[in-house]
Amino acid sequence: MHGISKTLPMVGCACALAATLACNSGPDSPAAPSAAPPVVETGAAADGSTLKALPPTPMSPTGDARLTTRQPTMVAQNTSGKFANRPFNYEFQLMEDGGNVIASTTLSPGDSTTTWNYTTDLARDTPYRWRVRATIDGAVGPWSSTSRFLTVRENRTPNPTSGRLPRPDIVGVVNQVIAANPGILSLRRSCQDPSHGGDAVAGWEFMDKLIDTLRLGDTRWGYNGKRGNANDPSHDVIAYNWGSQPDEGTTDVYIFDVLLGHCGGSPSATQIDVTGIGGALGRWTSRGRFAGSQGLQ
């Protein structure tokens, strides 16, 4: 009896030890605490994303908003990681309405939103779509929902039934552009001649903004080719197609000087009809900035 009683504790200890080892080596044994999960996943999710982040939120333009321009400004609400708050970059895509990508860019984040200013003219009165996703270190998050907008519907005065359209009055628009853009009549922004303190590229800003503003009301407005040369656009005279023919290249135009004292010390708004003065020949040109209207709008 004594021998048996002495061996029982040993058997119990062995069983206890075996049970302990079995428990510790099982698949459900608790593991030691690990570091926070990484932001970047090791494999792609079903949507192709490899970044543990929520999709950004498109803010504007959305919901078929009608723009007042052909150059959209796309704004997205920044997002954050699911397990770590790291600053992401943001990849934008601009698409045709059917989904074909026409432009993309990756930008550093803003404070709470990130903005893509698209500086190329899109087609007039046309729907487009855009979306955005977070990205970092080669990993990409899920795409946001796709947002849709429409570009500006520029107006056009109907063709004349006979003869010419009347001469338009635009001096108020010239003053409007000047008032809305402080400093735009400085030499660098309104004079294209470096020999007079202007800039051959930046000096077109005033003329470009004026033409863009006028075309919102009537796409008959364009630049004027000096002495009928479309490759030599005037620096301060603009053209208006008064007839039924397509715009690009037509000489059936009124031409107006819109800036007194151009490239001088104190230029100012004006509207002087110089059509035919001294035998001057005007010619409508887009200066390569927009497609010349075919008179269909």
Cα–Cα dist 98/129, whole Å: 9
Q: What is the β-pairing status of strands 233-241 and 253-260?
A: antiparallel
Q: What is the β-pairing status of strands 65-66 and 268-273?
A: unpaired
* C-alpha torsion angle, residues 49, 54, 56, 59 (rounded to 10): 140
Cα–Cα dist 181/187, whole Å: 14
How do the domains of the chain map onto residue ranges? 57-150, 171-285
* 3-class DSSP assignment, residue 172: helix
* 3-class DSSP assignment, residue 264: coil
Record the tokens describing residue 11, joined without a space.
């058997």
Identify the burial level of 43 via C-beta atoms within 10 angstroms of its C-beta, where 0-12 means exposed, 13-18 middle and 19 or more buried.
Answer: exposed
Assessment of whether the complete model's pTM goes beyond 0.85:
no
Record the tokens describing residue 55, joined without a space.
């999709």
Instruction: Quote the pLDDT of residue 249.
Output: 94
- Helix/strand number for the chain, H first, E second: 4, 14
Instruction: Quote the pLDDT of residue 43.
Output: 59
Beta-ladder partners of 129: 95, 148
Instruction: Quote the pLDDT of residue 85.
Output: 65
- Specify whether the CB–CB gap between 236 and 289 falls below 8 A: no
Phi, psi of 219, rounded to the nearest 5 degrees? -75, 5
| DSSP code for 207 | H
| Rg of the chain, C-alpha, whole Å | 34
Q: What is the mean pLDDT of each run of 10 residues along the chain (297 residues)?
A: 44 43 44 45 68 92 92 94 78 97 97 96 91 92 96 88 94 96 97 96 97 92 94 96 94 97 95 88 91 50
Record the tokens describing residue 242, joined without a space.
């008064």
CATH number for the domain running over 57-150: 2.60.40.10
> 261 vs 43, 190, 235, CA distance in Å?
65, 11, 12
